[in-house]
Structure 1
Amino acid sequence: MKEKKINIRWANTNDAADLVMLNDAFNGVGMSIDEVKGNLTITNELIALAVMDDLPVGFACAQYCKSFCYRGLQGEVTELYITEVARGRGLGTLLIAFLEEELRVRGVTSVKVLTGKKNEIAIKTYERSRYYRQEEVLLQKNL
């Protein structure tokens, strides 16, 4: 069986159509290509794309900020998605490491992740990247 060629790189506006498809599969948000292109040009979000044999098969996003409450910049991995056909190849771990390296270069000292407590596959992926569980409660309100 031929080994798949895997590449992790930064997403750009040329990837908008692929990002629309991947995000819709993951989040069910039917954004347009123009919306995604616009968002890519104005955001400070880090968006990494996983490509396997020249086909985009996943993405991960991270953000970071400075708070007066903490020393150093705080980061968060906000999204991580791999298509079903590409799962089990370590792409999630590669995407996380790719984001972490850029966050580190930018001065981020701590990174957090929020995922569903029953999302064991994602939790195991993050734990393989040395994230650990904490007891916190998420409260949310739509405005």
Structure 2
Amino acid sequence: MDIHKQVRMASHSDASVLVQLNEEFNEALMPQEDVERSLKQAHEIVAIAYLNDVPVGFACAQSFQSFCYPELMGEITEMYVQERARRQGLAGMLIAHLEEQLVERGVKTVKVLTGHDNDQAIGAYAKSGYIQEDEVMLEKRL
């Protein structure tokens, strides 16, 4: 059986699928209208992955400028591939797609935060050329 893989930019018409995938990933149910609005604004880069024409994952990235650095920075903020679709190369395809979009925006450096014990994600990023840094992330809920 031939396996068909595809990654493309998400559009507002993908909102219902992204709501479902995000609920699986983050256990957060976002209102579909909010997701549609966010996708229409196009501030965030959102890619969606398909396996045999079935949506199975997504990834998000953002670009930003700080006065502290001379160039635009990028960050991959989310990536999720359903377990049944893993080990098919979709994570690498999602990463490559986000990188292409970030380069088009003028980004030269991309950062990723993930759990120190998330070996699958770390492996996917390492396979795409990311180098693990020795930084600490701190968080505070306001």
Stretches (4+) displaced over 4 A: none
Q: Distance in 2 between matches of 1:131 and 1:78?
A: 14
The CA deviation string for residues 17-52 of structure 1, in whole angstroms up to 9 with x for no partner, is 100010000001111212211221234000000012
1:71-110 aligned at under 5 Å gives the runs 71-110=70-109
Name the residue aligned to 1:63: 62
Report the alpha carbon displacement of residue 114 of structure 1 after superposing the two structures with TM.
0.1
The CA deviation string for residues 84-114 of structure 1, in whole angstroms up to 9 with x for no partner, is 1110100000000011011112110100000
Name the residue aligned to 1:26: 25
Q: TM-score with structure 1 length normalisation?
A: 0.96
Q: TM-score with structure 2 length normalisation?
A: 0.96
Name the residue aligned to 2:11: 12
Q: Distance in 1 between matches of 2:54 and 2:70?
A: 40
The CA deviation string for residues 37-95 of structure 1, in whole angstroms up to 9 with x for no partner, is 12212340000000122211100000011111112110000001001111010000000
- Aligned residue pairs: how many? 142
Q: Distance in 2 between matches of 1:43 and 1:7?
A: 21
Q: Distance in 2 between matches of 1:91 and 1:43?
A: 23
Q: Distance in 2 between matches of 1:134 and 1:90?
A: 24
Q: Distance in 1 between matches of 2:29 and 2:68?
A: 36
Q: Distance in 1 between matches of 2:75 and 2:17?
A: 23
1:48 aligns with 2:47: yes
Give, as a single letter, the amino acid of the residue that structure 1 aligns with 2:84. V
Q: Distance in 2 between matches of 1:37 and 1:125?
A: 28
Q: Distance in 1 between matches of 2:132 and 2:51?
A: 30
